[in-house]
Amino acid sequence: MTDGSSAHETVTEHGASQGHGASPEHGPSHGHGASPEDGAARERGAVSEGEASAEFARTARTTPLRLRDRVSYERAAAYGILDEAYYCHLGFVVDGEPRVLPTLHVRIDDTVYVHGSTGSRPLLAARSGELPVCLTVTLLDGLVLARSQFHHSANYRSVVVHGRARLVTADSEKTRVLTALVDKVAPGRSSDTRPPTRKELAETSVLAIPLTEVSVKSRTGGVKDEPEDLALDFWAGVVPLRLVAGTPVPDEGVHRPLPSYLRTIAPEAVA
């Protein structure tokens, strides 16, 4: 498979190729069905009209080696993808070896926060100072099936963030982040749950990564076969993909009706 389906292949500081995952494009909406309430959007720092045209500065690490027409540095596009995705992959180095971990994240203004336990490797590594990291998010919007195997691809939207993560130590900032993370999962959920105890807060760690070195890469559209292959008698086209919430399943002992915010996420749910 090719058709440039290697997302976010960029030039590192030393000029080496650095791949960042699958290659999707701005295709059909990868919406997970949630329509965040105004309060939740404000908490995450919804992009204003003035910010919509702002771009991140290009760096050696965010400049692609190929398919540069698929790359964007638009702040609004990056924020939209980060806000839509439930989880990210965080890359870092420990004892000279690379680690990549999936984790939950939430964006507040110009910072993305990742959640973890106090004993996790990246949180332990960040205790001695700022930790160099690479955070990636990919939303897969469709599978592109070409007449040739070579031109099979995917439609996607992806973000790569380079930076130095700091450990959040202030309880006030940590509480604000965890509240925003819960409300991202289900807008309004934080007011319908018990807040963390001091012990639980102490057992939870949060890393903060400033959104300063960021790039977006995407693919949209259909099949891009060779002209001589167009007459071949094979099915070709795009299979759209999207994340859809199913009917919520209550835990044993729950007798309350389904909250309104869950009916927003799962509109076909029966109260």
Q: What is the pLDDT of residue 264?
A: 81
Rounded to an integer, what distance in angstroms lies between the CA atom of residue 189 and that of residue 261? Answer: 8
Q: What is the pLDDT of residue 51?
A: 46
Q: Cα dist. 271→153, 160, 201, 247 in Å? A: 40, 39, 33, 10
Is the pTM higher than 0.85? The answer reads no
Contact assessment for residue 15 and residue 69, using Cβ atoms and an 8 Å cutoff = no
222-248 burial, b for 16+ CB within 10 Å, e for fewer? ebebeeeeeeeeeebebeebeeebeeb
Q: What is the pLDDT of residue 233?
A: 97
Q: What is the pLDDT of residue 266?
A: 79
Residue with tokens 């195997």: 149
Write the pLDDT tens digit of every residue in 142-165. 999 999 999 999 999 999 999 999
Rounded to an integer, what distance in angstroms lies between the CA atom of residue 219 and that of residue 236? Answer: 17
CA angle, 116 then 101 then 35, to 5°? 70
Q: All domains of the chain, ordered by start, with CATH? A: 10-223+235-241 (2.30.110.10)
Q: What is the pLDDT of residue 130?
A: 85
Q: What is the pLDDT of residue 69?
A: 79
Total length of the chain: 271
Rounded to an integer, what distance in angstroms lies between the CA atom of residue 223 and that of residue 170? Answer: 50
Write the pLDDT tens digit of every residue in 43-59. 455 444 444 448 998 99
Contact assessment for residue 188 and residue 57, using Cβ atoms and an 8 Å cutoff = no
In the chain the beta strands, taken as DSSP E runs, fall at 10-11, 17-18, 71-72, 87-94, 97-108, 111-117, 131-145, 153-167, 204-210, 213-219, 237-240
Q: What is the pLDDT of residue 220?
A: 95
Contact assessment for residue 159 and residue 260, using Cβ atoms and an 8 Å cutoff = no
Q: Cα dist. 234→146, 225, 239 in Å? A: 8, 12, 15
Low-confidence ranges of the chain (pLDDT < 70): 1-53, 117-127, 268-271
Q: What is the pLDDT of residue 270?
A: 57
